[in-house]
Each structure stands twice: as C-alpha cells, then as structure tokens.
Amino acid sequence: MGEALPWFGRLSAEDRSWVGLIVQAGIRGFVDWYEQGARRGGTAITSAVFGAAPRALAGVITLQQTVDLVRLSIEVVESDVEGVLDADDAREVRVAIARYAREVAFATAEVYARAAEVRGAWDARLEALVVDAVLRAETDEAVLSRASALGWTTQGRVCVVLGTSPARRTDTDLFEEVRQTAAGAGYDALCAVQGERLVVLLGGADDAREAAAAIAPLFGDGPVVAGPAVADLVAAGQSARAALSAYRAAAGWPDAPRPVLSIELLAERALAGDGHARRQLVDDVYLPLAQARGTLVETLSAWLDGGGSVEGAARALFVHPNTVRYRLKQVADLTGLTPGVARDAFTLQIALVLGRQSGRG
C-alpha cells in the first residue's frame, strides 16, 4: 500500500493501522463468505469489513481513496490465486472475488453515504445554532468558530433576510438552493427555518436590498424583509432585530416591495410598539427638523394638516407658496424623506407625533 498509494504514507500511524485492519478484515471476510457458499451480502459484509474501524476514519480517507484501496486489495488477491490453486479452482475463485468485490463496493458506498448523512445532519444543527444565536444577539467567539466550520469566510458586511419558508420543500433542498444562489451572486449564506419563517444570513452584503433581491424568489408567499447591513457577524444581531420587527409589522403595508428594507417600515414598526423604531424616527427625522429651523416642523405640520396643499399651507403660515416649497425641499434634504411621496409623508407624520410626545427638540 505504501508503494502503490501515495496518500497512505501521509496518514498517521494510528490511521494506517486502522486501514491495515480493514484490509485484513476484508480478506478474512472473503474467506468466510466463500466458505459459507457466497450467500451473505449487504449489512453482513459492511459489518465484517468496516465494523471495527472508527466512524471518524471516513473523514480521514476519502471515498476515492477507499475505492483505490479495495481495487489494490483485489488485484493482490487475484495475482496470488494462480500460485495456490489449480486452473479450474482459480477460475471459480476469481468469479467469487468479482462478486465479493461488488458487495464490498456497495458496502463502501453505504458507509460513506451514512457518514455524509450524519455529517449533513450535524452541519444542519450547527447552522441552526449559529442563526439562532444571531437572532438572540448572542454572537460570541464560539458562534464565530461554528460559522467558520460551516464555510463562512466573509469578513465584510452582513445582513439578515426574513420571509416565509416555501411550502413542500425539504429544509436540506431549500438551504442548498439558497446557498448556491447566494454564492452565485457573491455572498456567503447561512440558513435556518424557525416555524414557518426562513431566516438567511448573507455575508458580503454591502447593499442589503441588492443582496436580499438575489434570494427573494426562493422564499414563500408574503413579505421578504432585509435588515440593515452591519459591520460583521458579531453585529448581525442588530440587523436581525430590525428585520424581525419589520417582518412582524409588514402586514401594515400590503403593497410593500419584495424585498423591503426594515428602515422602510419604520412607521409600521413604531405603531406596532417597537421602541427602537420610535427612537430612530425621533432621532433621525424629528430632531434634525426641529433643530435646523423651527419653521420646518411648523411648515411640514401645516402642509400635512392641509392635505398636502402648498397653497393651503402658505395661507395658514402667511407666507408665499414658494417659501413652503423651499422649506419642504429642506425637509427632504435633512431626512431623506420627500413630503410629496405618500409613503414618506406617512412616515414624516408619525415622526412628528412621536417627536412631540418625546418632549425633545
């Protein structure tokens, strides 16, 4: 084996010993099998050949290496048959060796399939633990280590995407498609299903909307919500919290785009009782208006109360309509929300109410 199989010499002494035991068990198993009339197969051969080896060996020696090992063992046995048996018996034994080799091949496939299944189940549990830790904002070094073991290599920004899990799809099949689609778009992905909700962590997501759009078609019916892109996996709990809040509040905006960003649902989140959303509306919308010029809050309020009429607001404030237009443009510049857009006007109105209630500014 050391001469014919280059990889054999690179194994540890313990692993080489286990390989030797497998080969011996295989040859001994053939002798027993042949003596019993070549009737055993399936589980009996699997147990006879691989039963003594530890499960971890399947992670050390690849399937291809095991096939090479079986092929070499068969060649050696066949080459020695002629020297110990006459021609007729040798022919019969070679036929038996071919049958036994086929059984060993099936046994080998079974062992590696079972190992892959166990490994896949373990990876799925590990992945679920990582996603759950992010959702609970409990990302520590252990979680980072688990993510790394699952192939997470992203050092850049991360966002969390939530939506309904599609019906009639197994988790394994769904997760594989999500990972492949994400990888094709240049993102790392970790997935978990919690109840009817599919949660995906996307790495390398500098633009949360663009990243979420890459996998949005894989979700079931209903809203697909993306949290903000954050610095790394450690900070992903912030993205998860915003995404969860937005997902719960998304019913308040039936015509929301798909995907929709959590920040686009700030008003609905605030109405649903999200304290973070309320503070964000006050800090990022109301206070900049109140602190820039007091007339901006007054003008915006008059414009909203007048049903969005510039002339009506101008009459209420005793100013020229162009002054109202100028001030509304300043509102848009300061907040990123355009009063003339219905959705933005709704958010601005909620921000005004919350700002006044806060007593700040």
> CA-to-CA distance for 226 and 319, rounded, in angstroms?
42
162 and 246 housed in the same domain: yes
pTM score: 0.68
What does the pLDDT read at residue 111? 67
Q: Please name every residue paired with 177 in a beta bridge, in sequence order, or none if there are none.
A: none
Looking at the domain assignment, is residue 139 inside a domain?
A: no
Q: What are phi and psi of 299, to 5 degrees?
A: -65, -45
**Tens digit of each residue's pLDDT (9 = 90 or more) over 98-148:** 777 777 777 777 666 666 555 556 667 888 888 899 988 888 888 888 888
| 312 in the same domain as 288 | yes
- The alpha helices in the chain, defined as continuous H runs, are 13-35, 43-50, 63-84, 87-135, 141-149, 171-184, 208-215, 236-249, 266-271, 275-281, 287-292, 294-305, 310-317, 321-335, 342-358
Structural domain boundaries, residue 305? 275-358
Tell me if 150 is assigned to some domain.
no
Q: Both 11 and 110 in a single domain?
A: yes
Q: Is the dihedral of CA 86, 92, 93, 97 positive or negative?
A: positive
CB-CB contact of 297 with 289 (8 Å): yes
Q: Residues 336-360: what's their mean pLDDT?
A: 94
Instruction: Give, for 192, the enclosing helix (H) or strand (E).
Output: strand 188-194
Neighbour count for residue 188 (Cβ, 10 Å): 21
Query: Quick one: pLDDT band at residue 55, thresholds 50, 70, 90?
Result: low
Query: Would you say residue 344 lies in a domain?
Result: yes
100 by Cβ neighbours in 10 Å (0-12 / 13-18 / 19+) ranks as buried
Q: Are residues 72 and 179 in the same domain?
A: no
**Within a domain: residue 280?**
yes
Is the residue at 28 inside a domain? yes
Going by pLDDT thresholds of 50, 70 and 90, the confidence category of residue 47 is low
Q: Do 291 and 263 lie in a common domain? A: no
Per-residue pLDDT, averaged over 63-81, amounts to 74
Cα dist. 91→29, 96, 99 in Å?
Answer: 20, 9, 13
What whole-number distance in Å separates Cα of residue 139 and Cα of residue 146? 11
Question: Do residues 194 and 172 touch, judged by C-beta distance below 8 A?
Answer: no
Kindly state the helix (H) or strand (E) to which residue 261 belongs, with its residue range. Answer: strand 260-261
Same-domain status, 283 and 191: no
User: How far apart, in whole angstroms, are the C-alpha atoms of residue 99 and residue 307?
Assistant: 87
The verdict on residue 199 lying in a domain is yes
What is the spatial distance between Cα 100 and Cα 72, in angstroms, rounded to a whole number? 14
Question: Does residue 1 form part of some domain?
Answer: no
Residue 200 has pLDDT above 90, yes or no: yes
Which residue(s) pair with 230 in the sheet? 158
> Do 303 and 320 belong to one domain?
yes
* Confidence category of residue 341, pLDDT binned at 50, 70, 90: very high
Do 282 and 353 reside in the same domain of the chain?
yes
Burial of 225 from C-beta contacts in 10 A (0-12 / 13-18 / 19+): buried
pLDDT at 58: 60
Q: Are residues 184 and 262 in the same domain?
A: yes
Question: Domain end: 76, 98, 121, which one?
Answer: 121
- Phi, psi angle pair for 197, to nearest 5°: -105, 130
Determine the pLDDT at residue 42. Answer: 47
Which of 206, 240, 267 is the endpoint of a domain?
267
Instruction: Say whether 303 sits in a helix, a strand or coil.
Output: helix
For the beta carbon of residue 39, count every other beta carbon within 10 angstroms: 7
Question: Confidence class of residue 48 from pLDDT cuts 50, 70 and 90?
Answer: low
Render pLDDT for 220-274 as a digit per residue (tens, 0 to 9). 999 999 999 999 999 999 999 999 999 999 999 999 999 999 999 999 999 999 9
* Residue 359, both tokens: 């007593």
Helix (H, G, I), strand (E, B) or coil at 339: coil
More confident residue, 275 or 81: 275
Residues 17, 114 within the same domain: yes
**Number of domains observed in the structure of the chain:** 3
Domain boundary among 211, 241, 267: 267
Q: Is residue 186 part of a domain?
A: yes
Dist. CA 112–CA 108, nearest whole Å: 6
